[in-house]
Amino acid sequence: MTDKINVEEINLTSKDFQSDQDVRWCPGCGDYSVLAQVQRVFPTLGIKKENFVWIAGIGCSSRFPYYMDTFGMHGIHGRAPAIATGLKVARPELSVWVSTGDGDLMSIGGNHFIHACRRNIDLKIILFNNKIYGLTKGQYSPTSEKGKITKSSPYGSIDYPFNPTSLALGSQATFVARTLDRDTKHLQEMVRRAGEHKGTAFLEVYQNCVIFNDGAYTNYTDKEFKPDNIIVLEHEEPLIFGKNLDKGIMLDGFYPVIVDLNDGIHSVKDLLVHNEFDENPVRAFIYSHMTDDPNLPTPIGVFRQILKPTYDESVVAQINDVTAKKGKGDLETLLFSGNTWEVE
């Protein structure tokens, strides 16, 4: 488990997490916002600076470890969850974070991701989802919408996109959340919540790529459109949205529908009330698939958070249990036990 102490004892500020490297993202990139909010949150988590580690794969987002003044590793494409898993198991006292993009995590890294979630490794995985391959100059990615015209799909992509939040829920991640790069207050809160969770914490950030997919999330970030297109999930609060907070979400069977709170028929009492600690994942799945219907608002916030033993804790417990019963193992005995061969 990550060692935590009183925040006042650490006395860190955001500047303590700013490295001496020039930040080399395109001007206006949403990655800057994520970096700034992470640097603001880290001093508040009660973790010693030397216990933070960032692991990354390949992509624009994967330059993150260079810009954080912590330990870190810039790995290879898609392998960040596997590297982070090994590190967390070997050094369970560390706070291990993963920065990754939709191409990195949802394509070649998909298998590593689902098994990190399944095992409930105590990792914090931040997905920068800009729905495009940015570093390699604009090919469609596993989260690009069907029909997306890019350099690698000049007549439109025929792929169906991944739903990262639904995938994380289906893979049994114990903390699943979504936020926006331009909603800095909400982004900061989601980073903090992920950092405080014990287990696999997955945070999807809708992040704008100003060069190859600019405006992908305008309907969610523009002040004019946001109120009617975004719904904020808050624990024990009804699902209400709209410029005048006069619309809500209720269920028709298993399907979410919009109701008018001013129609004289429906009231707040009819609406879904969010429970992020629900042991049953069904409603969280329903929320995650609201993005399938362009007429429904897109949820942001914590979809689900549950607590169960982590893989890294269980490894330590098993080693301690076996050691207590049988004593420390002997490497030479292990290597030369069982079936052995002599090669001439």
Fold for 7-230+275-312, please state it.
Answer: Rossmann fold (3.40.50)
Please answer whether residues 126 and 90 qualify as being in contact, where contact means their C-beta atoms are separated by less than 8 angstroms: no
Mean pLDDT estimate for the chain: 94
Q: What is the pLDDT of residue 101?
A: 96
Extended beta strands in the chain, E state: 52-56, 71-74, 95-101, 123-129, 175-180, 201-206, 230-233, 240-241, 247-252, 255-260, 298-305
Q: What is the pLDDT of residue 183?
A: 97
Give ranges for CATH 3.40.50.970 in the chain: 7-230+275-312
**For residues 116 and 132, what is the distance between their CA atoms, to the nearest angstrom?**
24
pLDDT digits 0-9 by tens, 312-331: 999 999 989 988 888 888 88
Comparing C-alpha atoms, which of 296, 251, 247 is closest to residue 274? 251
Of 60-64, 90-94, 135-139, minimum mean pLDDT range:
135-139
pLDDT digits 0-9 by tens, 188-225: 999 999 999 999 999 999 999 999 999 999 999 999 99
Total-model pTM: 0.93
CB contact burial 249-270 (16+ within 10 A = b; e otherwise)? bbeeeeebebbebeeeebeeee
**For residues 239 and 154, what is the distance between their CA atoms, to the nearest angstrom?**
39
Q: Is residue 143's pLDDT more than 70?
A: yes
Q: What is the pLDDT of residue 189?
A: 98
